């Protein structure tokens, strides 16, 4: 598993928002929403990269979290009906690509790497960013994604 430290500039995204419990997510609710968004991505007129769907995870609730499925957009000027716009500030991420059913193990491995390599989590707002190929079908394909965990150097 190749791990990189990558800065990422602030960006805008347009997509759909899901809020729920960890149990609901485990039952596949996010995958269903992702497939629905995949079918609507062409409604976003100012895409930066039409080949990537980005997932943003905000753990802002003790019983669950909020997850956005977005496509990066040049601006938030035109937001299709039923979608939302979001601005994401710049971050430094620890990243790695992963394919397979044991996504939680990949996250655990990355968290250990962060601890062992002079970084600490920077999750005041955004907890995780995930990038999926737009051709990935979350209802039928094994998970295939690039994981991004926000970090900062230990002081």
For the chain, what is the domain count?
A: 1
Q: Are 117 and 34 in contact (CB under 8 A)?
A: no
Provide the whole-model pTM.
0.93
Tokens standing for residue 4: 């990189």
Res 62: pLDDT: 80
Of 146, 145, 127, 148, residue with least CA distance to 136: 145
- Each residue of 21-78: pLDDT tens digit? 989 998 999 999 999 999 999 999 999 999 999 999 998 778 899 999 999 999 999 9
Domain that holds residue 17: 4-152
In the chain, % of residues over pLDDT 70: 100
Q: To the nearest 10°, the Cα dihedral for 140, 28, 1, 70?
A: 90
Beta bridge partners of 137: none
pLDDT-derived band at 145 (thresholds 50, 70, 90) equals very high
Q: Is the pLDDT of residue 8 over 80?
A: yes
Res 21: pLDDT: 92
- Each residue of 93-109: pLDDT tens digit? 999 999 988 899 999 99
Q: Kindly report the CATH number assigned to the domain that includes residue 23.
A: 3.20.80.10
Question: What's the rounded Cα separation, in Å, for the pair 30 and 24?
Answer: 8
Q: Are 67 and 55 in contact (CB under 8 A)?
A: yes
Q: Is the pLDDT of residue 132 over 90?
A: yes
Tokens standing for residue 146: 């690039």
């Amino acid at each position: 598993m190749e791990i990189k430290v990558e800065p990422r500039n602030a960006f805008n995204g347009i997509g759909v928002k899901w809020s729920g419990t960890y149990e609901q997510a485990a039952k596949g609710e996010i995958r269903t929403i992702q497939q629905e968004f995949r079918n609507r991505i062409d409604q976003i007129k100012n895409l930066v990269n039409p080949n990537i769907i980005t997932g943003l995870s905000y753990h802002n609730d003790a019983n669950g979290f909020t997850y956005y499925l977005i496509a990066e957009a040049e601006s938030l000027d035109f937001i299709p009906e039923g979608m939302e716009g979001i601005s994401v500030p710049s971050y430094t991420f620890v990243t790695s690509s992963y394919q397979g059913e044991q996504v939680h193990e990949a996250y655990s491995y990355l968290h250990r790497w962060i601890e062992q390599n002079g970084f600490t989590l920077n999750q005041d707002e955004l907890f995780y960013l995930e990038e999926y190929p737009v051709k990935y079908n979350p209802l039928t394909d094994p998970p295939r994604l690039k994981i991004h965990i926000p970090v900062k150097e230990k002081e």
